[in-house]
Amino acid sequence: MREERSKMEPPSIIIFHSPGEGSCTFVQQVLLGIEEEGLPASAIERSGSSIELAEAAAGMSAFGVGVGIDEQGNIALTHYRMPQGQPVFHVSGETSSVIARIVGTDAARLVKGRPLVSGVGDSAALAPEANMEALPQDKEAGEKYPVLDSAQIAEVVRAALRQLSG
């Protein structure tokens, strides 16, 4: 269910983040990723899990896209039409500033309908050891969602940088 926003507020991607210094760096990087794609964003402090925060943010965003960052540094990106508890993707564990920035870029690309920089959904870029869960519709029912380890994340980042510079 979508929350009502003031008609006076411009549309933006909403980022709900847990209070505390731990999420501040990630919030700034997500904002930069969104800004680089030319879309507005708003960061609002709230408590909850990253997935709950992302779902609430997507429900409030005029674009229908939300990012949630919890106090453990987990980051979720979702669209309001995704099934509850199944974000577009979820980064858990050792999140870095680079990954947070990619989440911001992908949030904006989700609004624009452009391919995601993270490579989520590209089965060649995914492997079973990591920390980024794949889109549910990319896997058959009952399979564990593959995630990226730090070496694979680094490769995704390098590929993204190559695309951006070339």
The pLDDT of residue 23 = 76
The pLDDT of residue 58 = 96
- pLDDT at residue 2 is higher than 70: no
Q: Tens digits of per-residue pLDDT, 96-130?
A: 889 999 999 999 999 998 888 886 643 233 222 33
With 0-12 / 13-18 / 19 or more C-beta atoms within 10 angstroms meaning exposed / middle / buried, residue 120 is buried
* Cβ contacts of 81 within 8 Å, gap of 6 or more: 64
Structure tokens that stand for 57 in this block: 């943010």
Instruction: Find the mean pLDDT for residues 4-27.
Output: 80
CA distance 99 to 4: 30
With 0-12 / 13-18 / 19 or more C-beta atoms within 10 angstroms meaning exposed / middle / buried, residue 38 is exposed
- pLDDT at residue 68 is higher than 90: yes
Instruction: Find the mean pLDDT for residues 35-62.
Output: 96
Q: Confidence band (pLDDT; 50, 70, 90) for 84?
A: very high
Contact 118, 106 (CB under 8 A): yes
Please give the class, per CATH, of domain 13-165. alpha beta
The pLDDT of residue 41 = 96
Measured on CA atoms in the order 94, 54, 58, 15, is the torsion positive or negative? negative
pTM of the model: 0.70
